[in-house]
Amino acid sequence: MHPLDPCTADELTSAVAVLRAADKLSDRAFFSAGWAAEPSRSDVARHEAGESVDRLIRLIGHDRNQGQSFEADVAVGTATLAAFRWVEEGQAPISMDDVMQVIFALVEHPDWLAALEARGITDLDKVHVEPWLAGINPPQMPTGRVIRAIAFLHEHPEDNYYARPIEGLTAYMDADSGEILVEDHGAVPTPMEAADYAAQFQDEFRDDIKPLDIVQPDGPSFEVDGHLITWQKWSMRVSVNAIEGLVIHDVRYRDGDRDRTVFHRMGLSDMVVPYGDASPLHFWKHAFDAGETSLGHQANSLTLGCDCLGEIAYLDAVMLQNDGEPRVLENAICTHEEDFGILWKHTNVFQPELPPEVRRSRRFVVSCVHTVGNYEYGFFWYFYQDGTIQLEVKLTGIIGASALHAGTDLETSPQVGPNVTSPIHQHLFCVRLDPALDGGTNSVIETNVEVDTEGPHAYGAGFRALATPLRTEQQAKRVIDPAASRTWKIINPSSLNAMGQPVGYKIVPPSTPTLLPPDESPAGQRGGFARHNLWVTQYDEDQHYAGAGPFTNLHPGHGVGLPSYTADDRPIDDTDIVVWHTFGVTHVPRPEDWPVMPVEYVGFTMMPAGFFDQNPALDVPPASHCST
């Protein structure tokens, strides 16, 4: 076992047994997640192949009798409880146990039944209750493990109930005490139009699609050894974390004789999805799908030919269930390679006797798809032959819906279907990038390109790439500026390329929004990481999450995470740093997003910028099937 391997089912079972034996939890406690605590860099560096690893397994969960969540570290090698604490602020992620409590309690609650009856709904089998994250404790229920609920109506059991939102009706439940508060904001007719997307409901399919098969007769060009993957010159370790989803550790690129380190760790740290419609069904929604719902638990089991195409190698993940039993999530990670068009090309028109030089680009893909309630998120990390790394997040699934009525504000909730509107919302993702460019310490440089407006050049020549070192954490809170071609370059000042420049990788940020809700709002207090596109912090192993991490659920916020990490404005120049990049989209729903949304792509790219001495992909051979 390697120290960066994810925890096994046996480790989880042992850790749960140790914690139970310590007699800290009541019989109304449940587990939310468990994972191997990140080993220190020095422990990873000291590890020799084949050596046993003494690991800490972190367990989180919630005790309904205590009304608090817990966090425990268990040393499985010695079967000892190394640490235990009751969490003071925030709670463990929402669990299946919470969800089922809300669903079963509401169908028996007189206020809920009366509100349904006021809408002419008496057949409870047709009502789909959808429990939701409350975000923070609302004034109506200032304490307790609050879950919100909204509801939709079925016409028949297999249809898309999201097309029939039961408008104006919400409920809160304290899942610990069982207390329920139903809020009826007034009955509005429920849309009855069908909006089905499943194959069985389509009258016809287009018939002009011929088979397209990806065939690799000699197998794929990558190797999987446990969680270690090598593909051409790249190597990395991949796993699924219960909270953060896909994590890529120890990213390296073999450059001649050198096995060069690029990143210690890359992964989503947090994400926030604030809704911008003031109607009762939506105004409180601002989901943190990583910390509040434990993203890793929502990973799909991927199936050949559907989610990925070609020669696939799958990796499983192990998640801890509420009852303390491990569950193997088969095929949680898909790895494969893809043809990606042209890598580079040149035709010399002055020497027509020479063949054009063209190379096909191949990329290695590591992906994981999560279903969180109505929505899907696919995380796709791409590694390219020229040293480029890219993260693409695929957004799909079913958008939030409201019933169109006289009070609808179409500017905040545009119409997307017959009698259905959908609120404008944002999806903002914050990735945590722990760089290791040739090891050692790193700095971050911002580059803005300006043109000399006064000067001797009548042609307007004088495009200057102005490099500004970001020297402190406050100085490094930055937003994009596409007009200035703004990029941020991570460099290692002590490792120089053939030109004597420090080796670097630049973050090429996409056109991306920042957080719209104001600072004093719940989303602003809890999702401060989305206020800026770039943050750089001094490395601190206790500062792992961009927000409140595994205890985001019902956490009041007050600048938790990056805003507080950077408050002391520590120096970040030529030291051990972590780079955080927030990107995403403000989603103004379209009719084409209904009834199921075609994938919208967001993400960012990291390009080597002086990391190599020249194009590192000159050694990619011409494709054998190309006729010239």
| Interacting residues toward Ni ion by CB under 5 A | 587
Establish whether 289 is a catalytic residue: yes
Distance CA 461, CA 453 (A): 9
The helix (run of H) or strand (run of E) holding residue 12 is: helix 9-21
Residues 6+ apart with CB under 8 A from 517: 274, 276, 286, 523, 524, 527
In sequence order, what are the residues at sequence separation of 6 or more whose Cβ sits closer than 8 angstroms to the Cβ of residue 168?
Answer: 184, 185, 186, 187, 188, 280, 281
Quick one: which of 24, 152, 140, 158 has its CA closest to 81? 24
Element at 563 (helix H, strand E)? helix 562-565
Name the residue nearer to Ni ion (CB basis): 56 or 398. Answer: 398
Name which of 477 and 587 has its Cβ closer to Ni ion: 587
Name the minimum Å distance from CB 400 to Ni ion: 8
| Partners of 581 in beta bridges | 431, 534
Task: Report whether 583 contacts 429 (CB < 8 A).
Answer: yes
Q: Which is nearer to Ni ion, 286 or 362 (CB)?
A: 286
The span from the CA of 391 to the CA of 379, in Å, is 7
Instruction: Report the C-alpha gap between 314 and 330 in whole angstroms.
Output: 8
- In this structure, what are the phi and psi dihedrals at residue 549, rounded to the nearest 5 degrees? 60, -135
- For Ni ion, the closer of residues 252 and 587 by Cβ is 587
Q: Which amino acid is at 530?
A: A
Partners of residue 326 on adjacent β-strands: 320
- Give whichever of 2 and 587 is closer to Ni ion, judged by the CB atom: 587
CB of 273 to Ni ion, least distance (A): 7
In Å, how far from its chain's centre is CA 95? 19
Residue in 175, 168, 156 with CA at minimum distance from that of residue 92: 175
CB-nearer residue toward Ni ion: 3 or 400: 400
State in angstroms the smallest separation of the CB of 593 from Ni ion.
8
State how far the Cα of 550 lies from the Cα of 37, in Å rounded to an integer: 13
Residue nearer to Ni ion on the CB measure, 281 or 437: 281
Contact 308, 367 (CB under 8 A): yes
Least distance CB 589 / Ni ion (angstroms): 7
Catalytic residue among 162, 172, 375, 565: 375
> What residue has token string 């379209």?
590
Among residues 489 and 587, whose Cβ is nearest to Ni ion? Answer: 587
Grouping H, G, I as helix, E, B as strand and the rest as coil, residue 102 is helix
Our CB check for Ni ion shows the closer of 555 and 587 to be 587
Find the shortest distance in angstroms from Cβ 93 to Ni ion: 21
- Least CB distance to Ni ion at residue 107 (A): 30
What's the rounded Cα separation, in Å, for the pair 266 and 250? 9
Q: Are 424 and 589 in contact (CB under 8 A)?
A: yes
d(CA 628, CA 624): 10
Choose between 98 and 376: whose C-beta lies nearer to Ni ion: 376
**Residue 526 neighbours by CB under 8 Å, 6+ apart:** 135, 136, 272, 286, 288, 547, 548, 552, 555, 556, 557, 560
Query: In angstroms, what is the minimal distance from the CB of 425 to Ni ion?
Result: 6
- Name the active-site residue from 289, 434, 438, 593: 289
Starting at the earlier edge strand, list the strands of the sheet with 180-184: 127-133, 146-153, 169-174, 180-184
At residue 496's C-alpha, the angle toward residues 494 and 501, to 5°, is: 110
Nearest distance from C-beta of residue 587 to Ni ion, angstroms:
3
For residues 57 and 547, what is the distance between their CA atoms, to the nearest angstrom?
Answer: 22
Residue 224 host element (H or E): strand 222-225
Q: How far apart are CA 271 and CA 431, in angstroms?
A: 9
- Return the beta strands (E) in 275-374 as ranges: 286-287, 313-320, 326-346, 357-372
Q: Residue of minimal CB distance from Ni ion?
A: 587
Closest CB to Ni ion among residues 373, 387: 373
CA distances from 100 to 149, 190, 328, 445 (A): 12, 25, 22, 50
Q: Which residues are catalytic?
A: 289, 375
